[in-house]
Amino acid sequence: MTTTIKPPETQEKFSTLTERQTKRHEKLIETTYRNNIDSDYTEKIEELSKSFNYNNNRDHYWSESEQSLLYASPLYEVASPAQKLALNHLHWFTNYNYISNSETETVNFNQVTSSVFAAIGGYETLSRELSFETEQEYYHINAFRKIGLMAANALIGKKGLNTLLKWNSYKLTLGQDPLPTYKYYALRSLAKRMLSGRKQQYSPYLRELEQKNKFILKAPTAGMLGRSLEYSLPLQSFFTFNWGSGSPFMACQFYTIRMIANLYLKNMEHSIAKYCKKLENKGKFIPTPTAISRYHFLDESFHTTISQLLAKDMYKAFPKPTPYEKFVGNMAIYMMQRGTLGGLSGVLPHRYFADDYTIMELVYRLLQAPVFGMSSEDALDWMKRCFCQEHEGFYVASKNRQRLLGEMRRFFNDVDYLWTVNREMRVMAARGSIQTAIQSNTKTFEQFSRTVIAENS
């Protein structure tokens, strides 16, 4: 069934889009929705994850060797073939654990914004596409977590994995209680006051949660947005309220954040998809995680199309953003630059946080696991060389980061409401030096090693 999509009559006079542009948007949404429904990539991901067995996949690379934990570091150069396979598999685990956390955020915000578009009227196909994408994300998340945790458990053991998960989730629970009701409504009132004067259709999804006393965020999230907002529950809730406020511009603006995640993912995943295709063309064995990465890449192409349309073009069909809406939208992108895009990793070629602190516990547990079998002292010594001293791995990561920076700049170049610092991605550009990464890692490694030594004493 084809749904006609048009801006509400009360808003047509504000639109900067021509009828031809509007028709093109309608066709693109309808085509994307139809193709996404007709594809079977999600079903293949589900089937593969259900039958996954680590032992059947452990003797094969899951991506090109460059996509390995500690790639081109001093330790990687002396690692045995079995150890290099372990590093390759843990690269997959680490990245897709992060992606699954980010897609959990997407599940929330897709529902917030899709219900806004549904309430506005005339955007039923778009709302259905976003709802379908949400369903797909559940399957993606389940597959990533199942396979990643099975691989990590096999490589670092149950005790090491439990310690790792506890270590890396500490920021989510340290001093963070569920958002009190009065704070929830205070933040919502602020957003509504600043958006007053608009004809709005407040997110029915958020309204329903309020009526059931089930607020959208009970704890900080750990994906790209949550980490960029420094695990702050009030900040995450504040942006949630704005994206679900009923302002169609704000609902569209969320997709600039989702587009950052789409581009980030593509920068890492595209090469795995190509690696999978190369194995297929040569008639070689395709590991299950490799195949899942490829199908996920294809699934996400539909999501990226929608993100790009909403973030770059379709917001122009609605009333021009107020100064407040511009401020909120720009702050979200600015904080993503500082967080998700705000650094350079020396041990993961596609991670860009301010430092490698969250990876240190994983590397430490791996080096003490049977595959490496190091003492605590030797593990810390090797980690210092890999995290705190210049090596080729930093340059591999820097090259990947520069490619992503170029893609970000091309995308944001003509988004007309952005501050220059966001349009040109100046924060990301300024924070990617190797020396800065080493200096930051040196500080955090000293803290990490003191903690380890205290635990062992």
In the structure, what pLDDT confidence band is assigned to residue 411 with cuts at 50, 70 and 90?
A: very high
3-state DSSP assignment of residue 273: helix
pLDDT score of 13 more than 50: no
pLDDT at 184: 67
Contact 51/361 with Cβ under 8 angstroms? Answer: no
Average pLDDT on 106-117 reads 94
pLDDT, one tens digit per residue, over 332-380 is 999 999 999 999 999 999 999 877 888 999 999 999 999 999 999 999 9
pLDDT at 395: 97
- Given its phi and psi angles, is residue 329 left (phi above 0), alpha (psi -120 to 50 degrees) or beta? alpha
Higher-confidence residue: 358 or 396? 396
pLDDT score of 1 more than 60: no
In the structure, what pLDDT confidence band is assigned to residue 174 with cuts at 50, 70 and 90?
A: very low
Q: Which two tokens stand for residue 233?
A: 């529950």
pLDDT score of 178 more than 80: no
In the structure, what pLDDT confidence band is assigned to residue 21 with cuts at 50, 70 and 90?
A: confident
pLDDT score of 149 more than 50: yes
pLDDT score of 169 more than 60: no
pLDDT at 168: 53
Helix axes 233-243, 181-194, angle to 10 degrees: 40
pLDDT at 166: 63
Average pLDDT on 274-282 reads 98
The pTM of the full predicted model, rounded to 2 decimals, is 0.91
pLDDT at 205: 86
pLDDT score of 234 more than 50: yes
In the DSSP assignment, the letter for residue 54 is G
Q: Which two tokens stand for residue 337?
A: 């630059």
In the structure, what pLDDT confidence band is assigned to residue 120 with cuts at 50, 70 and 90?
A: confident
* DSSP calls for 99-146: HHHHHHHHHHHHHHHHHHHHHHSS-HHHHHHHHHHHHHHHHHHHHHHH
pLDDT at 111: 94
Scan for tokens 């310690």, then name that residue. 163
pLDDT at 3: 36
pLDDT at 218: 65
In the structure, what pLDDT confidence band is assigned to residue 170 with cuts at 50, 70 and 90?
A: very low
Query: Counting runs of H as helices and runs of E as strands, what totals does the chain give?
Result: 19, 0
pLDDT at 18: 79
pLDDT, one tens digit per residue, over 205-218 is 888 887 777 666 66
Q: Which region among 57-71, 173-187, 311-325 has the lowest average model confidence (pLDDT)?
A: 173-187
Look over the chain and give the mean of its residue pLDDT values, rounded to a whole number.
89
Question: What is the percentage of the chain residues whose pLDDT exceeds 70?
Answer: 90
pLDDT score of 270 more than 60: yes
In the structure, what pLDDT confidence band is assigned to residue 108 with cuts at 50, 70 and 90?
A: very high
Higher-confidence residue: 4 or 17? 17
In the structure, what pLDDT confidence band is assigned to residue 16 with cuts at 50, 70 and 90?
A: low
In the structure, what pLDDT confidence band is assigned to residue 10 with cuts at 50, 70 and 90?
A: very low
Contact 3/125 with Cβ under 8 angstroms? Answer: yes
Which contiguous run of DSSP H or E holds residue 411? helix 392-412
pLDDT, one tens digit per residue, over 290-334 is 999 999 999 999 999 999 999 999 999 999 999 999 999 999 999
Position 45, amino acid: I
